[in-house]
Structure 1
Amino acid sequence: MHRNIVFQQDNARAHTARYTQQFLKQSNVQVLPWPALSPDLNPINTFGIRCRGGWTVKTIDLKTPMILNIPYEGTGMLFQDIFLQTLVSSKGRRCAAVLEAQGGHTHC
C-alpha cells in the first residue's frame, strides 16, 4: 500500500467488520476518523451513485488518485467531466454546510 494514502469510510458494517479492521491494520492503512451516519462528502461516492443511475463504471485504477482517469461510458465524456469537476469544486461549500448543520444533513 502507498504510505501517503488515507482511507475514508462511512462506518458501514462491511467497513467495521473485524476481518476488515484486521486487514487495514496489517496493511498499515491509515483510516480517517469519521462519525457513523454522517453526510458523505466524498465526491467519488456521488459519482458512483450517478453511475448506478445511468452511467457504467467499467474499472477503477486504484494506483491513480485522479478520479478523471476512471473509464466510463454513458451520456458523453464532456458532461461527465464537468459533473466531476463540479463535485470537486463544491467541496468547500459542502463542508461548510455540514459544519453549520453540526454534522447533520444538508441540502447541498
Structure 2
Amino acid sequence: MIQPKKKGKDISVMVWGAFYGVGEQSNLLRLARDPNSGRQGYSAASYVGILDEALPTLWEPGLLFMQDNASIHTSRLARQWFQENGIDVLEWPPYSPDLNPIEHLWYRLKKNVYDVRPDIEEVRGGDEHIQEVLYDALEQAWVRIDSKIMEDLVRSMERRVKAVIAADGWYTKY
C-alpha cells in the first residue's frame, strides 16, 4: 500500500484486482472497511463482498482461482463462498507467498501510481479526501499495466508451481 501522507496514522486504501487468461484483467475494486471487525478494518466480510461483486463477471468454468493464505482469504466465510459458488481454489502452501504472480502486479501498480500522480505524497486534506485521491490514482495506474506483463506471469505459473514443489513449499526465486 502507498501511504501518501502520515497524519498520526497511515492513510491507505485496500484494493482487490485480478488478472486471467491472456492479458485480461479485472477492474480494481476498493475493499470496504468493516465496522464490525475488531479495529474497523478489513475482514472476511469485506473480502466476500468484493468476490460477490467481481467474480461473477469474470469467472468461467474450468478456471482455478488463486489467492494467498491471508486470513481473510482462508476464513470459513470465504471458503464457504467459494464452495457455494462452485469455484475451485488453488491449494496454497503456507510458506510460498512468492508463488503468487499478482505480487509482481502490485509492484507495477505502485510504480504506476507515481507516474500518474507524482505528487501523491504531497496530497493534503482530510483522510477521506486523501483516500479518494489515492484510489483514483490506483485505478488509473491499474489500467496502465501492460497486458504483456500479465501474459508473461500467466505463462510462468507452471514453472512457479514446479519450483514450489521442488522446494517443498518453501521460498523460490520467484
TM-score, normalising length: structure 1: 0.59
Paired position in structure 1 for 2:41? none
Gaps of 5+ in 1: 60-69, 74-79
Change (3 A) 1:87 1:24: closer
Change (3 A) 1:100 1:47: same
- Greater CA radius of gyration, 1 or 2? 2
Paired position in structure 2 for 1:4? 62
Where has structure 1 moved over 6 Å in runs of 4 or more? none
Query: What is the aligned-residue RMSD (CA, Å)?
Result: 2.9
Q: Following superposition of structure 1 onto structure 2, how do residues 70-89 of structure 1 map, counting pairs within 5 Å?
A: 71-72=143-144, 80=146, 83-84=149-150, 86-88=152-154
Q: Percent identity among equivalent residues?
A: 34
Paired position in structure 2 for 1:66? none
Paired position in structure 2 for 1:101? 167
Gaps of 5+ in 2: 1-55, 114-137
Paired position in structure 1 for 2:77? 19
Q: Distance in 1 between matches of 2:149 and 2:63?
A: 25
Equivalent pairs, count: 91
Instruction: Point out which structure has higher relative CO (alpha carbons under 8 A, 6+ apart).
Output: 2
TM-score, normalising length: structure 2: 0.41
Report the residue type matching 1:34 in the other structure.
W
1:84 positional shift:
4.3
